[in-house]
A and B are shown apart, each in its own frame.
Chain A
Amino acid sequence: MHVMTDFYIIIQQLVNGLILGSFYSLVALGYSMVYGIIKLLNFAHGDIYMVGAFVGFGALGLFGSVLGIGWLGITAALVISMVLVGFLGIVIHRVAYQPLLNKNAPRMSLLITAVGVSFTLFNAVMVMTSGEYKAFTTSLSYDGISVGPLNITYTQIIMVVATAVLMLGLYWFINRTMYGKAMRAIALDQDACRLMGINVTKTISLTFFVGSALAAAAGVMAGVYYGSIHFYMGFIIGLKAFTAAVIGGIGSIPGAMLGGLILGLLETAGTQLPFVGSAWKDVFTFGILILLLVTKPTGILGKSEIERM
């Protein structure tokens, strides 16, 4: 009997880890895509996720009366948030990063600009929300599949499926469309792409759009799942998603997906460990990050590059 209970706990934690990992993966993708194409660590990416949650929250409030606050309303809010935040990504790229890219500015300047963007976004939301938690109210139930003490809600299942659909869509987009090919080409050699007539700036903007839209989707889903949102929610997840991207190999899209899931599972497992617990779980994650950066900075699926002079 005791063994069975342990088993259920493990399964339950596995599900929790999978959900957490899905959010990490979606955010990590944006990090990895932007890094892959312009070698910028888009520091503001976590805040884009946060803005996505708030836009979704606003959209649900606006259309909830018509569409209801069930799955229909949530899906509408998700799509609206993805599109709007995707455009926000483009605006950020054009206003803050592209001028520096044009000037061939040092990487440090780009990085600091990204810190500035992050600061701007989270303070803007803080001012607008007076720094309060907002309850992300939905009419979703806790119904689900129950086996013994184990309970997996339909919401959880739909979240994982939705993440999988978004990722498959992205995979198709990157590998099968002209835009995706242009992105991959630019990541390899920008100048050559320019000579071949690819509009580099536009393609980078598109990358920002896609990355930001995915983060927004994660933000809305996290809001729905946890039931409350806060201006500071992007900060820690930004760090975690970056960790996930590094685990998988930064610049690699399957790597970001895999890294997110691994981190989600590791973290839920970590909270079960003695001496770690929930108070220390962030320390645990950063510990993993630092360990990984020192031992295998290219990550699991990243390619090692030989630097040539």
Chain B
Amino acid sequence: MVNSVGFKDRVTETIKGKKTRVLFLSLLVIIVALLPLGVNNYIEEVMTNTFFYIILALGLNIVIGYAGLVDLGYAAFFAVGAYTTGILMRYGLNFWLTIPIAVIFCVIAGIIIGGPTLRLRSDYLAIVTLGFGEITRITARNLKVTGGASGLVGIQRPTIFGHKLYQITDFYYTFFILVILAIIVSLRIYHSRLGRAWQYIREDEDAAEAMGIDPVKTKLYAYMIGAAFGGVAGAFFAVKMTAISPETFAFTQSAMILLAVILGGMGKIPGAILGAVFLVFFPEIFREIGQMRMLLFGILLVIIMVFRPQGLWPERKS
């Protein structure tokens, strides 16, 4: 604990004051934006993958961090997004047009799962979301339109202003822009009427309701927005990979995204980013441990919860 306080002080000192923080952040954005000029394809690939998980972590963060709701089936939304885009493009629809449809489908999925269950206590919700995640995966396995167990292959690459996105650098920038958008959207919602309503409910649901806040509707919004993040990420995932299969969206995937959010610290944007970075880089750096890494993740999850439930990123000072 002594160490963590030291870390906290150091971090707050480095990014103290708005000016320094803006400077620091701009520098970070510039470095990340210029990175592809100086590194090889492998690093670019890993970074793109990181961006992708950051988007998912930010989406799940809205559900569990902001609204305080458990979701153990988040990969389902990402699956709905990816499959919607994959299937619609097979029928010849332009990629960019599939995005809003994917988002709408995900939001509907969010309503289907949240609507009837949000009145329930949190642990029931955990099981229902988990069950929903499994239902989605099994459905994708069993339907013809989703390509069954082998999934969809040969998804077309998208074009933008006549430029076809196919190189890793193209996707690097695409996902980088998405990350920035995801951060802006997260921040703006958090500092809005809805964001505050989530906080009120998380802190004291009865008191929030006494203030005229409809808890079910407010929580449902969290599911819908979280689902929309998953949908966008899924749509881009489909065209980057060009192939998707049901096993990509298994429980392990949901658990990984959950870990990213918890590891960094629930409800904190830099936390979710840090968590996602760790999640992708850790197995890349320790390649030789192979299968052991999932085991380590499990142990890590328990250790964090027992010793530092607020996550790695330091708490905001008051």
Contact = CB atoms under 8 A, between A and B. Distances in A.
Q: Do chains A and B touch in the complex (CB under 8 A)?
A: yes
Contacts of B291: 123, 126-127, 131
Interface stretch (A53-61, A105-113, A210-218): A105-113
A168 interface: no
Interface string B269-292: 000000000000000000000011
B215 to A, nearest CB: 14
A289 B131 contact: yes
B31 interface: no
B298 A41 contact: no
Q: Interface centre among B120, B292, B295, by most A CB within 10 Å?
A: B295
Interface in B261-315: 262, 291-292, 294-295, 297-302, 304-306, 309
B298 A107 contact: no
A287 B132 CA distance: 9
Contacts of B294: 119, 123, 126
A108 B295 contact: no
A39 to B, nearest CB: 8
A120 interface: yes
Nearest to B206: A309
Contacts of A162: none
A118 interface: yes
Interface string B185-219: 00000000000000000000010000000000000
Interface string B222-254: 000000000000000000000000000001000
B25 to A, nearest CB: 30
Interface string A94-135: 011001100001011111110111111101101100010000
B142 interface: yes
B128 A293 contact: yes
Contact of B255 (A119, A121, A286): A119
A239 B131 contact: yes
A155 B300 CA distance: 42
A242 B123 CA distance: 11
Contact of A119 (B126, B206, B292, B301): B301
B130 interface: yes
B68 A108 contact: yes
Contact of B122 (A105, A108, A236, A242): A108
A289 to B, nearest CB: 6
Contacts of B49: none
A297 interface: yes
B134 A282 contact: yes
A279 interface: yes
A291 to B, nearest CB: 9
A112 B261 CA distance: 11
B139 interface: yes
Contacts of A110: 305
B116 interface: yes
B295 A123 contact: yes
Contact of A280 (B68, B123, B142): B142
A9 interface: no
B299 A116 contact: yes
A95 B307 CA distance: 11
Contact of A41 (B64, B127, B131, B301): B127
B123 A111 contact: yes
A234 B237 CA distance: 30
B96 interface: no
Q: Is the interface of B mostly helix, strand, loop or mixed?
A: helix
A43 interface: yes
A117 B302 contact: yes
B142 A120 contact: no
Contacts of A294: 116-117
Contact of B72 (A100, A115, A246, A309): A115
B128 A107 contact: no
B127 to A, nearest CB: 5
Nearest to B256: A119
B309 A105 contact: yes
Contacts of B180: none
Q: Interface centre among B68, B127, B134, by most A CB within 10 Å?
A: B127
Interface string A144-171: 0000000000000000000000000000
Given A99-B306, A109-B309, A115-B258, A283 B298 contact: no
A10 to B, nearest CB: 26
B138 interface: yes
B88 to A, nearest CB: 24
A110 B306 CA distance: 9
A290 interface: yes
Contacts of A127: 291-292, 295
B266 to A, nearest CB: 8
Interface string A256-281: 00000000000000000000000110
A235 interface: yes
A242 B297 CA distance: 24
A243 B131 CA distance: 10
A165 B315 CA distance: 53
Contacts of A95: 302, 306
Nearest to A40: B123
Given A109-B309, A282-B135, 6 more contacts: A110-B305, A112-B258, A117-B298, A286-B131, A290-B131, A293-B120
12 contacts: A35-B123, A39-B123, A40-B123, A43-B126, A110-B305, A116-B300, A123-B298, A126-B295, A127-B292, A239-B127, A286-B135, A293-B116
Q: Give me the 7 closest cross-chain CB pairs, A-B, nearest first.
A: A116-B301, A119-B298, A120-B298, A286-B131, A41-B123, A123-B295, A116-B302
